[in-house]
Structure 1
Amino acid sequence: MAVNEDSSSYGSLYHDLYQPALVIAGCFVLVALVLSIFLILQHLKSYTNPPEQKWVVAVLFMVPVYASESILSLTFPKLSLACDILRNCYEAFALYSFGRYLIACLGGEQCVIELLEDESRKMLNKPLLEEGEGKKKHSEEEHGTLWNFFFRPCILGKDLLTIEKFGLVQYMILKTFCAFLAFLLEIFGVYGDGEFKWHYGYPYIALVLNFSQMWALYCLVQFYNMTHERLQAIRPLAKFISFKAIVFATWWQGVGIALLRAFRVLPKEGKLQTGLQDFLICIEMAIAAVAHVYVFSTEPYHYLPAFEYGKVTTERTKTELKLDDGETTPAVVERKETQIEAPGTSVTESVQDIVLEGGQRVVKDVVLTINQAIGPVEKGMIKIQETFHHKSDTEGHEDDESELKVEPAGQDQKSEADV
């Protein structure tokens, strides 16, 4: 009886707070959508650096996706699981896009490899032309790659880039797979969203995704620590914090609400849990949109290098300096800056480049990651087969030797009997 009264009281509380929460969340979502779409269109119109901006647009699009999915889930609670799946899939892709953006800002993969190899040589005190293959193998045998990644990432060289890419792509693959797995489990009634019980799939999926996300973020942090000095021109710390806050906070926010529900700090009402999560995300996306306007500004892409065409603008700055040598006439310092304004670009062409070029890059990285994951498994299977084959050959050889030893003994006994 008391349980029914509690559930009815929580149900009435949910209905009382639902309409005000929906209006407040809608206002924040409107702000988030307006600011984010405006910033995305600005990047598409000033699409002068495709290698960087295609990933910037992908990261910025995270706010409209999160905001629209959250308000849709809050308005129609029955669609909450489907919205959560789409939101999680794009979260993984956005994390991958941010990693690709850092690589593009460093000049591409080849430039990053040269940078990391140079840092590795400096740390190992190896001359540029005396890096023999034997020494490289000896250092790898002395400390494994995984050990060095945790404690001495600076000596890994290009292997650090490989680990970083693998860490981001594995999260994108696992996040997508687990999202659709959760959908299937929900259809059969064994998912149990927010329920930490062994006969539900939620705790196992949450455990896998927690480990996968922490590994991906750790790989990104290690890569950032190695390259942040070369990224000072793009204010990497502000970008890193603003993006990481969205990915990290929203996921752990959902886990935290589920834990509060499991410990009965929050009521066991499923609508209240999902509604609270969606409401908080709506507010957070408005804050993230404001931060993105300053952090991912289009100002660096308004001007081109001198060898490109465009509108040339000249800015002159005069500064008066008063000298202390008794002269009454101040000295005048004039500085002249010439900038070339970039022409506007077609939004259609920009979107086409993002979809085609970005899609091809994603497919290549996914295929490479799958091959890297399958490679050790294939080697292990080959070693197991070789071991069994070697054992069978050894046993067969021992059987042949035993037969050869038995035959002479039989012949000797026969000759003695004849005599």
Structure 2
Amino acid sequence: MATGYEDTYRDLHQPAVVIGGCFAIVAVLLSIYLIFQHLKSYTNPAEQKWIVAVIFMVPVYATQSILSLWNPRMSVASDILRNCYEAFALYSFGSYLVACLGGERSVIELLENESRGQLGITLLERRNGNQAVQSRSFTSFFFRPYAIGRDLLTIERFGLVQYMILKTFCAFLAFLLELFGVFGDGEFKWYYGYPYIAVVLNFSQMWALYCLVQFYNVTHERLKPIKPLAKFVSFKAIVFATWWQGLGIALLWALGVLPNVKKLRTGLQDFLICIEMAIAAVAHIYVFSAEPYRFIPVSGYGRVTTETTKAEMKFGGGDQEKSAVFEKRETQVAAPGTSVSESVQDIVLEGGQSVVKDVVLTINQAIGPVEKGVTKIQEKIHQRFVGSKDKEASELQVEECVEENLTGEQNI
């Protein structure tokens, strides 16, 4: 039976590579074109460096998938690169939303104002009353995210960075387990590492996306100018399509619905991703267009262009017919041309520094409670140790006093 499926795989492999390769080429070309447009009109580095990082997710996925489809031996390595970049892209999308809101300081002010406005209390009451402590409790994040104010940004960033760290760590752990033959890709058996890693990554991803959704729910009114819903849906579709699709194929394989041929299972996943990335690339052309960044305010520098449109309108009838000409002028300031190399340099350096800073901050936040717990345990052990010593010393003093009194009485 397995031999028959192997023959089917060989018959379908070449057509699948050709068809998937065509979709992958379309995805890569469209994405590279859009990225190049952003690099040429690199007028808002704070936003565009994260847009480029999000768009670059499509060519990474398409390239790794077609390579894995062409040569199944590259499947594990392709999964590692694909998974690592997926986590980074999710972090980049969150950073893009923060940049669109004006940066961290503006977001903190926005969240604080939103919190005070929704709760209907003054800043003084928030500082001095117990209501402030209650409103910032962790449970409020699930039911009233606006109530926790500036802490919402910290939770959102922690959620995204923890997924980026865990995804990268689990990807390399899967590679090591595969080398020792105990990973069992797609097999839900207790002696393989795949089911445990799948559970951890599933929880981590859901938490990261939930944090992003809660942040979006509080700030969506201020994000309306960038049409965030379309961007949010297009990005989440890629993340969910790849992860849940792979998990669903693995479950169907484990239940016996799909043939018990590993190459066929991984090939199906790679083939579907190639098609999906072509669709995503087309969506990105409209969703993450570079058009808004091609012009800057009149106060900036650039080439001023004036476009005049005329329209003639006739009214009246017969001999009394008259005509009027309406003229409309639009003045735009073309953004100065930017060097592509300088744009790439800014993306790599500034983006890298931001990632490192947030990773260090997240690790410190995770280690902080552990250090406090260890410190408390050490303090309790020290107090007991010192207390026992003091007790022994006091008992020894009492014994010495008793002996001295007894000796004194005998001398008398």
| SS in structure 2 of the partner of residue 29 of structure 1 | helix
Distance 1:383 1:309, change over 3 A: same
Distance 1:63 1:132, change over 3 A: closer
Displacement after TM superposition at 1:125 (Å): 2.1
For 1:32, the equivalent position in structure 2 comes to 27
Instruction: Summarize the alignment of residues 212-251 of structure 1 with structure 2, pairs less than 5 Å apart.
Output: 212-251=204-243
Instruction: Summarize the alignment of residues 97-116 of structure 1 with structure 2, pairs less than 5 Å apart.
Output: 97-116=92-111
1:199 paired with 2:194, answer: no
Distance 1:331 1:121, change over 3 A: farther
Deviates more, 1:303-312 or 1:240-249: 303-312
Which residue of 371, 376, 382 maps to 1:389? 382
For 2:167, the equivalent position in structure 1 comes to 175
Given that 2:90 and 2:160 are in contact with CA atoms closer than 8 Å, whether structure 1 keeps it comes out as yes
Give unpaired runs (5+ residues) of structure 1: 1-5
Give unpaired runs (5+ residues) of structure 2: none
Residue by residue over 1:248-291, the C-alpha shift from the partner in whole angstroms, topping out at 9 and shown as x without a partner, is: 11001111111111111112211011101100000000000010
Read off the aligned partner of 1:399 and give its amino acid letter: E
Could you tell me how far apart the structure 2 residues matched to 1:377 and 1:139 are? 28
Could you tell me how far apart the structure 2 residues matched to 1:216 and 1:400 are? 55
Deviates more, 1:390-399 or 1:209-218: 390-399
Read off the aligned partner of 1:357 and give its amino acid letter: E
Distance 1:321 1:368, change over 3 A: farther
| SS in structure 2 of the partner of residue 314 of structure 1 | strand
Displacement after TM superposition at 1:336 (Å): 4.0
Which residue of 350, 355, 358 maps to 1:362? 355
1:337 paired with 2:330, answer: yes
Could you tell me how far apart the structure 1 residues matched to 2:247 and 2:198 are? 8
Read off the aligned partner of 1:367 and give its amino acid letter: V
| SS in structure 2 of the partner of residue 338 of structure 1 | strand
1:71 paired with 2:63, answer: no
Could you tell me how far apart the structure 2 residues matched to 1:377 and 1:303 are? 50
Could you tell me how far apart the structure 2 residues matched to 1:192 and 1:152 are? 42
Deviates more, 1:139-148 or 1:27-36: 139-148
Could you tell me how far apart the structure 1 residues matched to 2:114 and 2:300 are? 33
For 1:134, the equivalent position in structure 2 comes to 128
Residue by residue over 1:200-244, the C-alpha shift from the partner in whole angstroms, topping out at 9 and shown as x without a partner, is: 111111111111101110011011111111111111000000001
> Structure 1-normalised TM-score?
0.92
Could you tell me how far apart the structure 2 residues matched to 1:383 and 1:134 are? 28
For 1:298, the equivalent position in structure 2 comes to 290
Displacement after TM superposition at 1:400 (Å): 2.4
For 2:263, the equivalent position in structure 1 comes to 271
| SS in structure 2 of the partner of residue 107 of structure 1 | coil
| SS in structure 2 of the partner of residue 94 of structure 1 | helix
Could you tell me how far apart the structure 1 residues matched to 2:133 and 2:222 are? 30
Could you tell me how far apart the structure 2 residues matched to 1:145 and 1:199 are? 40
Percent same amino acid among aligned pairs? 68
Given that 2:304 and 2:331 are in contact with CA atoms closer than 8 Å, whether structure 1 keeps it comes out as yes
Given that 2:27 and 2:278 are in contact with CA atoms closer than 8 Å, whether structure 1 keeps it comes out as yes
Read off the aligned partner of 1:163 and give its amino acid letter: I
1:42 paired with 2:37, answer: yes
Which residue of 127, 150, 155 maps to 1:158? 150
Could you tell me how far apart the structure 2 residues matched to 1:338 and 1:394 are? 81
Which residue of 338, 347, 356 maps to 2:340? 347
> Structure 2-normalised TM-score?
0.93
For 2:281, the equivalent position in structure 1 comes to 289
For 2:77, the equivalent position in structure 1 comes to 82
1:373 paired with 2:371, answer: no
Could you tell me how far apart the structure 2 residues matched to 1:141 and 1:114 are? 19
Could you tell me how far apart the structure 2 residues matched to 1:318 and 1:117 are? 49
* RMSD (Å), alpha carbons: 2.3
Which residue of 303, 309, 319 maps to 1:311? 303
Distance 1:284 1:213, change over 3 A: same
Could you tell me how far apart the structure 2 residues matched to 1:230 and 1:143 are? 23
Displacement after TM superposition at 1:371 (Å): 1.1
